[in-house]
Structure 1
Amino acid sequence: MFVIFSWLLLAASVQAAKLTLQSPRFTISSSNATTLRTETFTTTQKPEPLTLSSSDTFKLTFQITEEGEGGKGVQPHQTFLRFYDGVSGEEGIQPIRVTPGGKAKFELNMARPPASIPPTTTDPLKVTLILGSFVHEPVKYELFDLYIPASQPPPQHADEVFFHTRPVIEHTFHPEQKLPPTMISAVFACLVLSPWVVLLGLWAKVSPSVPHLFSPSVVPFTTLLGAFELLLFWYWVELNLGQVLLYGSLLAVPTVFAGKQALAKTGEWRQGRS
């Protein structure tokens, strides 16, 4: 029982242990290996913002230990540097390799920046160290602000313009058609019906015998002619041209046969009269 209790106390003490940084140091050098700036800083007070040019090299070294005097070096399970742009919200995560003794080194060559660096502008990147461990409390340290050259815009593809928002297509509709006055409509309706008046007048002149007008051989032909007139009126108010041609072709067949029969009967009537 005592052994189990001792192991629980040991596990609680290990779990309560915190990770800290020892001797964090950065160095900025130019392309010809000239040291431009080097400084050892603490996690409680950030150094002045760092500025890198397109040819500079940045090196960061530190050791991860357990908090307290004589803390031994610790290798966390996860160690990351986070680069965050507080204005645009862009961020990038860069893993860092740590030795079993807790020593770590990170190098950033601006001539060949890693893909983990987010797109940059003239705003600084906030650099944060994130440590994760199964046996220690996770910890996060705000290290410094870093100014690096603004990212170059990506080359524009020839078809890129077709994937942007296009202008809104606006349709211009003509005003609704105005109906003519009732008098004008009546006049033209009379003009449309006038051929029937002429036809009936000529028919009465040619055939004085009215009963022949309503004979079984003439009525179908007259009815089909009236159907053509109704079809044209229907076309005027509702149908389209294709429908008129279809219905007209269907009416044409019986009209031809009815017309032939009417002409034949009329010829017989003329011969019998003579």
Structure 2
Amino acid sequence: MLLCATRLEYPYAVDNLSAEATDSLKFSFKIQNSERPHQAMVVFQSQDDYQDEVMVAAPVKSSGKGRFELNFARADSRFRYGTRTYSMTFLVGGLTIDEPFKYMLGQIEIKGPSNPATRPERVGYKSQPEIHHQFRPDQRLISQAISGAFTFLVLTPFAVLFFLWSRLGIKFEPLRALASRPLDLIASLVFFGSLTGIEYVFYLYWSHITLFPVLQYLGVLSLVAIVSGRSTLSAVQARRLQRTVGSAKKEL
């Protein structure tokens, strides 16, 4: 059984439209607009506390014409929850249409079937009891006395090393040699400075910075260490050769 034919033209709406649960609704339209629509649909919204919405897509041709047929017996189960009145809204949208076109077609009463579908229980949203999160207390740190004692133990080997150097009478002749050659001295300072910088970057990575900045810093410092270290080691090797040649001459 089909519904009675009704012709509408914007902005008029239909009145007193009703249908049985076994009826079908045929809807055809023509859009006369300079901008081509790409999507159209009819939205059925129940006029009760539930405000159920059923959207039915309506294909649109390039000419602006379109149609669809809706069988209430085989359509969305929300049409079978009993006799209800639905508002019908026609929506048209497109890629170049900023705001969709909206046309209130009117209302339709759809009578429920003899054995209405069982409506699922309505979900009730309400405030839940407040959650009080308790953070764990801060971890206790060791005392300053113990920390200072272990710091002293870590520095003790360096003190022993300098003491043994003073007892052995080690002379830092390379420093005098570097002082006579400014370029070699600068290369040595840059080399040891780059090594110190690399150690400092490791400390920063351990304390707070992330991996990617560490890789950037290490890339620059490693390049500086390679260039300056090569110059420094070459200078050390040259001094060793000079000392070897000088010792050989003395023996002759």
Same fold (TM over 0.5): no
TM-score, length-normalised on structure 2? 0.41
Which one has the largest radius of gyration? 1
